[in-house]
Chains A and B, each alone.
Chain A
Amino acid sequence: MEENLKKVTLHDVHEHLGAKMVPFAGYAMPVRYSSDKEEHLAVRNGVGIFDVSHMGEFLLKGPKALDLIQKVCSNDAAKLSDGQAQYSYLPNEQGGIIDDLLVYRIGEEEYLLVVNASNIEKDWNWISSHNVDGVLMENISDDISLFAVQGPKAMEALQALTDIDLNSIKFYTFKIGEFAGAEEVIVSATGYTGAGGFELYVKNGDAIAVWKKIMTAGAAQGIQPIGLGARDTLRMEMGYCLYGNDIDDTTSPLEAGLGWVTKFSKKFINAEALKTQKDSGIIKKLVGFKMIDKGIPRQGYDILDEKGQPVGRVTSGTLSPVLNIGIGMGYVPLALAKPGTEVRIAIRNKQLRAVVQKLPLV
């Protein structure tokens, strides 16, 4: 392990749990505690807890905070009420994506942006460069631990730890309150697994105690720690984009299927060019696919048409622990993007058959 990696607050807790720690976005992160498959299925069928404290958090405050967010983000944050969150992205001026993120409205003049760990500095610099009206910006990434408690039994596992009625927190809303003895915890009904559950933003000073209380409270539901490996396979089954794999500075958000969070009803960076692209029509599209033949697609493998001609690349791929077959995502020409279309994936010296599928893949 490289010595200069940043450690999350729970680093030693993860090591004691037997986690394999790997470098990820500059942090030493738990990739696996027991088995990728077992952890994946625990989240799909029961409940698991992820430490995703490497994620970045920015607080934006002041009367012009919303204006700044509206300028740099693609989605319409004016639609948010207090206690609501939305998925969004930061468009660049070249038609690509700086990052994807969550925007939380804490109050009329206070917002929380949650960004990818690998992009914290890039996003901070970008948003700062557009902050011409004196919005108070605070990078609290190093002060906050983030736990995702995900799975159909998440609510059952957590309810005893708080007076907040978890059932009242609808998807993409949040409440702030006492949780497991810690003050001002953000309890958010969001996640990256498609399995339901909550994400908990906790001050670092409370993090170890909160984690331990969750593990104890959730024991009856069989809660177990889940590594980033299963986080990745869970999101792939849902067809959620991962920044750096499926989207990046050069990919079109419209081709990536992010049109639903691209709101031309307001002004934002590069909106005009994206509108032009939308009007003239995209030429390729990010799709999900399942393998028909036995094989596992991986990032970078060629996608071929039925004649064997390369038409695109796999951007994410894995074995689906739920389906027990290979699944993946990648960009293909529009003509091949329709669900049911057969394509081929070049896996080593073979061309194996796959079929484009509607998302989610499970």
Chain B
Amino acid sequence: MNIPEALKYTKDHEWVKIDGEEIIVGITDFAQKELGDIVYVEIETEGEEVAQNEVFGTVEAVKTVSDLFMPLSGTVLEVNADLEDNPEKVNEAPYEDGWMIKMQLSNKEELESLLSAEDYKTLIGS
């Protein structure tokens, strides 16, 4: 299981990459494995402000559908348009080409609620 040390995580199996002001969000390697072949990523909240733990989109696998939860309150700045035609990138490269949104944080205090790689590994029993 690939759980990069440099990223932060949520109990809903999302990862968060914090690079200065830029925050990128996706789903973890564990999540993509659990879901199986991802065939459709639907995110229609671009430009909207979404609160922490609220749904910002949906990911459809062949066998199941799962909501995507906002790891932090903020505005969805950009959606990975590549996933429209190539949703399998979420399976192939969940931390790179399979990223889902870029967002602007509205409450810095919430950063403390994120899990470290170590915490996340414990959560999934890895």
Contacts and interface: CB of A to CB of B under 8 A. Distances in A.
Given A36-B61, A233-B63, A296-B65, A319 B39 contact: yes
Contacts of B62: 36-37, 40, 229, 233, 318-319, 321
Interface string B30-44: 000110110110100
B40 A32 contact: no
Given A20-B33, A36-B62, A318-B62, 18 more contacts: A31-B63, A35-B36, A36-B36, A36-B61, A37-B39, A37-B62, A38-B37, A229-B63, A233-B62, A233-B63, A295-B40, A296-B40, A296-B65, A318-B63, A319-B40, A319-B60, A324-B39, A348-B42
Interface string A275-313: 000000000000000000011101000000000000000
Contacts, number: 40
Contacts of B52: none
Taking residues whose C-beta sits less than 8 angstroms from the other chain, chain B's interface range is 10 to 19
Interface in B28-80: 33-34, 36-37, 39-40, 42, 58, 60-63, 65
A36 B37 contact: yes
A232 interface: yes
Interface of B: 33-34, 36-37, 39-40, 42, 58, 60-63, 65, 91
Interface in A216-244: 229, 232-233
Contacts of A318: 62-63
Interface of A: 20, 31-32, 35-38, 40, 229, 232-233, 294-296, 298, 318-319, 321, 324, 348
B62 to A, nearest CB: 4
A19 to B, nearest CB: 12
Given A296-B60, A348-B58, A35 B37 contact: yes
Nearest to A325: B39
Nearest to A317: B65
Contacts of B42: 348
19 contacts: A20-B33, A31-B63, A32-B36, A35-B36, A36-B36, A36-B61, A36-B62, A37-B39, A38-B37, A229-B63, A232-B63, A233-B63, A295-B40, A296-B40, A296-B65, A319-B60, A321-B62, A324-B39, A348-B42
Contacts of B60: 296, 319
Contacts of B37: 35-38
B36 A294 contact: no
A324 to B, nearest CB: 8
Contacts of B33: 20
A36 B91 CA distance: 12
A295 B40 CA distance: 8
